Structure 1
């Protein structure tokens, strides 16, 4: 059976919006044999990249049929390499190929075309994130496209319940002004891998709900407390919704049963799984940082505060998500469920300029000694 010419072009909102939305609804996120997530982009297929400084979406057509999509964004970040610590990076996300058209090099062609756009925009490195056990994705990017395994961050997911967490009376919480938060991030996290130079734009974005600091009660924030911690919150649910698919019947029954028991016997305070089978939103915690002997406990207190905020102020926020570097000790203090979390996400990177290829070995082989900043616009 013959096929026509594969056409890859820029996304046209006027003509492609409905087709891409329908295409996304038919494509799951995650391996088909496991539990996966459906994404509802709320009428904007480019919602996940629209807040980035520079972005682009490509679509692939074969015989006038939409068979694939891919998205990319560009920004300036901290990347530890000589002679300076800055690099222009292009992030690849949202690669989808229609099930009936897979294994025909369509995904490969989409990535190559997006890389050409990166190169035209003077990008130093392209990078992407995938599940460590996603064999198809790893084979495409590492084996066929020459990407190198770079980082294995930890994704921590905690369900939002109706029961509020108790906040220790020994901890003082303060919401920071945007200018103050930006100044602190630049002072303490500007050396973190992939720290975005336009951090101020992120903090000022309407999706950023704010930045909070925690420190021991009785001490003064203005005089640098003996221990302190901070984090910021991004409302991803305003961009798109998620829905669980391919879940086993036992999971569905446990969800419904636990919610029934909670209502019937609230005094027992049994943990229940939120309803993930209908579209839901989530908060993303970013910029987690702390100093001092009590910083871990203060991070945990801040995470509990965010949970309480989500529980009381959001109707559809079902989970709180955080992603930190694999060697970041703060992950030990962030509340999460192992069932929902991913201990090793996989970031892969590729040098797009000849002069950067010599630095790639140092980037990928040197054990990460500094924090990793996960940009909420990349979620």
Structure 2
């Protein structure tokens, strides 16, 4: 426990702080960085966005009897994307909130420094966080004041789940993999991808994981040869995707949307219902609480990989239709990843440039790798862990 001039920083206590954290979240009315319109998050459990990670911590700031700030952090081991396939222990910072009446008093800075102390006590190599490119307050705090560097700018793609099923070409053969098969393929083809988690098996085993699917052309029957390390013939083109059900842990709603957006949503649903025979895509009701699916681990190879990724995205959309709570399908993908062109999305709800910032927690002499990750050339793709969403 530590004290500032007028407030105290300590670990979150669920029984004592649960309702107070919920109240603070409402006061802050912070929009998730996923969209240009305000997407507010409603948590069932204050720890739900970090409790699936191998290690996690949540700190609260108090001013007398009032809870005035919170921060969350998680720790895991990930790939750093270099040719040697080195790994690093990283700490992820999320959910920083400060009460509007207590801002500009250094509470946010102290909360970040305290979570960094926890990182360093657990031998974390790098700390990173994600924010909106337009969030000037967050950028000023982390970059100008706390020494973080702009690192990666992935793209967030959001597609509404319509009332009608998407068409999937008959030439695409889609099969669900079991967990062992999914882990084998992900480790085989994505281990060297930036931020690929060492514990991918735990991600796939998690109750929020809906599964992993692979797509090949109908003429390529021997898809299982991908699971072998021998010289057996492989499909000419193939693609895969994994899906995570975020709606099981927290909900979203669109707030403060422009009037034109609200009218578009209502009108598109009316027309879609009226003219169901021509399958017009409508914006779902996103102005009340809803859940969403998150696609991750998107990968493909071969000349028809783009169309196969597109077929998998439509398949996930159709899965969302069968879930009454799912209103959006979301993915986050490297800004230069070619598969961003294959993912269906609405520009109105998407974000072309998210911003990830990073900071070294240990000196180079204290780490096992000589690779300077912070200054390295950005790769075309990154792995976005669904636990970080």
Aligned residues of 2:335 and 2:381 also touching (Cα < 8 A):
no
Aligned to 1:172: 173
The CA deviation at 1:38 is 1.9
Aligned to 1:65: 66
What is the alpha-carbon distance in structure 2 between the residues aligned to residue 343 and residue 228 of structure 1?
Answer: 26
1:318 equivalent among 320, 323, 327: 327
Aligned residues of 2:82 and 2:192 also touching (Cα < 8 A):
no
1:352 equivalent among 356, 361, 365: 361
The TM-score normalised by the length of structure 2 is: 0.92
Aligned to 1:222: 224
Which aligned pairs between 1:95-174 and structure 2 lie closer than 5 A?
95-174=96-175
Aligned to 1:377: 387
Structure 1 residue runs without a partner (length 5+): none
Aligned residues of 1:25 and 1:38 also touching (Cα < 8 A):
no
What is the alpha-carbon distance in structure 2 between the residues aligned to residue 36 and residue 378 of structure 1?
Answer: 19
The CA deviation at 1:251 is 1.9
1:91 partner SS = strand
The CA deviation at 1:31 is 9.2
Aligned residues of 1:150 and 1:363 also touching (Cα < 8 A):
no
Aligned to 2:256: 246
Aligned to 2:38: 36
What is the alpha-carbon distance in structure 2 between the residues aligned to residue 91 and residue 5 of structure 1?
Answer: 27
2:315 equivalent among 286, 289, 305: 305
1:285 partner SS = strand
Aligned residues of 2:335 and 2:380 also touching (Cα < 8 A):
no
1:46 partner SS = coil
Q: What per-residue deviation string (whole Å, max 9, x for no partner) do you get for residues 201-260 of structure 1?
A: 000111000000000102120232110000100000001001111112232222222222
What is the alpha-carbon distance in structure 2 between the residues aligned to residue 177 and residue 271 of structure 1?
Answer: 32
Structure 2 residue runs without a partner (length 5+): 226-233
The CA deviation at 1:270 is 2.9
The number of residue pairs the alignment matches comes to 374
What is the alpha-carbon distance in structure 1 between the residues aligned to residue 292 and residue 309 of structure 2?
Answer: 19
| Structure 1 residues 176 and 315: CA distance shift in structure 2, 3 A | same
The CA deviation at 1:368 is 2.2
| Structure 1 residues 286 and 83: CA distance shift in structure 2, 3 A | closer
Aligned residues of 1:4 and 1:62 also touching (Cα < 8 A):
no
Aligned to 2:231: none
Aligned to 1:275: 285
What is the alpha-carbon distance in structure 1 between the residues aligned to residue 12 and residue 335 of structure 2?
Answer: 35
